[in-house]
């Protein structure tokens, strides 16, 4: 028998919150579960070319104001506050654990990725921050280059299990262009990783494109394919940002035993039993599953720190496979170049920027 849940937070509630600092009230329901299946998802197509968004995307962006929100940590089940602050040109995305005595900065970069089990953990030494992928996806999808993210616990709030609350937060702050061009990662030779029936491939293209396919032997999912072709930020907001994470009821116990998903519930996860979706409100799209996988792909690619000009094809992917692609890109500099409209000093992928603001 499933416990009944009250919605902890919905996008519509967020939209009517009206305040730039809002918090999600926790009506604590019994935690249920969370899961990012280790099994399959496959192919869709997103992409973004040099101009991420129309003609104005060639400039770097940050947010205009400081904004914050409070939510639950998915794995810990504890409340956590996230504050996003504007940051100067070439800062990138920098996380700070404000609950630690020393405010160690964790810069989003390929070398900061410490774990991709169930979610993405970034770290610097022993200081880590987990479940960053949906915020990173929102930043990638909206083309935001520079931001400071302060968090007072070991993981970001899960919010409603999608990136929509983060999009709302970032939109509330306002996006501003900065006086420097965005560099672009242009793929020049294909890279491909295969693991049985799972694969991920990146190849040259004139814009950012994705074809993502998932395949689950489940009546509510089956095979789903989603394509993205040179998307703008409105495409991300409209078609991807609200897609929620999902998981299977049968996996709950094993996840709990492994210490995951204490904060998981029907308010932040689409849950499937053997036959159907358990959540009373149903799905936001019939193919919400593959849309969430594309959202996760954006978040995992975001650690590269640059918009990407390439076509990406994924068959039954997940965080681990996405990160294998990121590693392959880092390991094969002959397969790409970094285009810089401002012709500044050449840089690599683990670029160390100007010092983060104090």
Residues that bind Zn ion (CB under 5 A): 245, 296
For Zn ion, the closer of residues 46 and 86 by Cβ is 46
For Zn ion, the closer of residues 166 and 336 by Cβ is 166
SS3 137: helix
For Zn ion, the closer of residues 36 and 150 by Cβ is 36
For Zn ion, the closer of residues 46 and 51 by Cβ is 46
End-to-end CA distance of the chain: 51
The DSSP secondary structure of 327-345, one letter per residue, reads HHHHH-GGGEEEE-TT--S
Find the shortest distance in angstroms from Cβ 207 to Zn ion: 24
> By C-alpha distance, which of 20, 27, 36, 32 is closest to 6?
27
In this structure, are residues 184 and 338 in contact, taking their beta carbons and an 8 Å threshold? yes
For Zn ion, the closer of residues 85 and 319 by Cβ is 319
d(CA 168, CA 88): 22
Find the shortest distance in angstroms from Cβ 221 to Zn ion: 15
For Zn ion, the closer of residues 43 and 86 by Cβ is 43
In this structure, are residues 63 and 275 in contact, taking their beta carbons and an 8 Å threshold? no
d(CA 34, CA 53): 33
Q: Enter the tokens of residue 352.
A: 């160390």
Residue carrying the six token digits 């308010």: 267
In this structure, are residues 313 and 200 in contact, taking their beta carbons and an 8 Å threshold? yes
From the centroid of its chain, how far is CA 287?
A: 18
For Zn ion, the closer of residues 178 and 245 by Cβ is 245
Find the shortest distance in angstroms from Cβ 173 to Zn ion: 22
Q: Is 134 a catalytic residue?
A: no
Burial 142-178 (b: 16+ CB within 10 A, else e): bbbbbbbbbbbbbbbbbbbbbbbbbbbbbbbbebeeb
> By C-alpha distance, which of 92, 76, 110 is closest to 149?
92
> By C-alpha distance, which of 292, 287, 285 is closest to 240?
292
Q: Out of 319, 322, 323, 332, pick the active-site residue.
A: 319
Phi, psi of 174 (to 5 degrees): 90, 140
> By C-alpha distance, which of 227, 204, 190 is closest to 325?
190
Find the shortest distance in angstroms from Cβ 162 to Zn ion: 8
Query: Which residues are designated catalytic?
Result: 319
């Amino acid at each position: 028998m499933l416990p009944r849940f009250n919605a902890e937070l919905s996008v519509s509630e967020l939209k009517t919150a009206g305040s730039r600092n809002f918090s999600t009230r926790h009506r604590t329901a019994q935690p249920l579960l969370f899961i990012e299946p280790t099994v399959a998802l496959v192919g869709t197509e997103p992409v973004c070319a040099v101009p991420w968004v129309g003609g104005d995307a060639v400039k770097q962006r940050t947010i205009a104001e400081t904004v914050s929100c409070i939510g639950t940590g998915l794995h810990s089940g504890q409340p956590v506050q996230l504050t996003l602050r504007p940051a100067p040109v070439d800062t990138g995305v920098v996380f700070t654990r404000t609950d630690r005595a020393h405010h160690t900065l964790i810069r989003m970069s390929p070398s900061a990725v410490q774990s991709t089990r169930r979610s993405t953990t970034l770290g610097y030494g022993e200081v880590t921050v987990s479940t960053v992928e949906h915020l990173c996806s929102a930043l990638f999808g909206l083309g935001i280059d520079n931001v400071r993210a302060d968090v007072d616990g070991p993981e970001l709030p899960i919010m409603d299990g999608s990136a929509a609350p983060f999009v709302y937060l970032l939109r509330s702050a306002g996006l501003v262009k900065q006086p420097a061009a965005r560099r672009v990662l242009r793929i020049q030779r294909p890279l491909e990783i295969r693991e049985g029936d799972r694969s991920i491939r990146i190849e040259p293209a004139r814009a950012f494109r994705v074809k993502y396919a998932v395949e689950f032997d489940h009546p509510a999912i089956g095979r789903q394919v989603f394509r993205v072709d040179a998307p703008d930020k409105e495409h991300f907001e409209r078609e991807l940002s609200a897609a929620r994470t999902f998981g299977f009821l049968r996996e709950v116990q094993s996840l709990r035993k492994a210490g995951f998903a204490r904060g998981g519930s029907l308010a932040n996860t689409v849950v499937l039993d053997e036959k159907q979706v358990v959540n009373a409100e149903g799905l936001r799209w019939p193919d919400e599953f593959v849309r969430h996988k594309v959202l996760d792909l954006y978040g995992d690619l975001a650690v590269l720190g640059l918009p990407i000009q390439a076509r990406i094809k994924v068959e039954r992917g997940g965080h681990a496979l996405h990160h294998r692609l990121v590693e392959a890109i880092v390991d094969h500099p002959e397969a790409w170049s970094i285009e810089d409209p401002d012709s500044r000093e050449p840089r690599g992928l683990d670029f160390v920027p100007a010092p983060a603001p104090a």
